């Protein structure tokens, strides 16, 4: 049987490790059980991010094979009840920002904050509020933005011809 001192030391060590876990996972939970549950959710979110990143890498590799289109990177992350959307394209075309903002509008997303640069390249960092439309997730937002970019670049190519 363990002595009281050993049990107390083991409990203190466990408590310290749970506090480290709480810190790493950005949990605000106070009870040990809640810290573990929050950590489990955090791990699930990380796994989902890994899957998304693998999909993005596969899409970018497939896009690199298509030499007619300019490389465009779109990332979307859930932020509370909204989204953080980052768009980068090595080529800017007239109306691209408007096209993307219209895509947000169609999804029922309101832009809460945005930074855009449309000189030679195109960059957009936007924080979108909660969608008013059902079933809008990161994938739906990303596909809508990619469609807006593709439509704009195709329209620009048709004008060049």
pLDDT at 35: 93
Positive or negative, the CA dihedral 56, 66, 154, 116 is positive
Token pair listed for 112: 């809460």
Asked if 74 contacts 145 with a C-beta cutoff of 8 angstroms, the reply is yes
pLDDT at 21: 92
Query: CA 137 from chain center: how many Å?
Result: 10
Asked if 122 contacts 88 with a C-beta cutoff of 8 angstroms, the reply is yes
Domain 70-151: give its CATH code.
Answer: 3.30.70.260
pLDDT at 34: 93
The 3-state DSSP class for residue 64 equals helix
pLDDT at 161: 41
Q: What is the pLDDT along the chain (161 residues), one digit of tens a residue?
A: 568 999 899 989 999 999 999 999 888 999 999 999 999 999 998 888 888 887 777 766 655 544 445 578 888 888 777 888 888 887 777 888 888 889 888 888 888 888 888 877 888 888 887 766 667 788 888 888 888 888 877 765 444 44
Domain residue limits, the chain = 1-67, 70-151
The span from the CA of 63 to the CA of 54, in Å, is 14
């Amino acid at each position: 049987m363990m002595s009281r001192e050993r049990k107390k030391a083991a409990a203190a060590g466990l408590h310290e490790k749970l506090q480290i876990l709480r810190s790493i996972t950005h949990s605000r939970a106070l009870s040990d059980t809640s810290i573990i549950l929050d950590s489990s959710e955090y791990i699930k979110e990380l796994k989902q991010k890994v899957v998304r990143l693998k999909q993005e890498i596969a899409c970018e590799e497939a896009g690199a094979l298509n030499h007619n289109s300019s490389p465009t990177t779109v990332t979307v992350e859930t932020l509370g009840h909204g989204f953080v959307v980052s768009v980068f394209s090595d080529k800017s075309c007239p109306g691209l920002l408007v096209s993307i903002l219209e895509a947000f509008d169609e999804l029922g997303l309101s832009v809460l904050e945005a930074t855009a640069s449309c000189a030679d390249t195109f960059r957009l960092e936007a924080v979108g509020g909660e969608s008013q439309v059902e079933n809008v997730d990161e994938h739906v937002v990303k596909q809508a933005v990619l469609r807006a970019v593709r439509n704009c670049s195709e329209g620009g190519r048709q004008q060049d011809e």
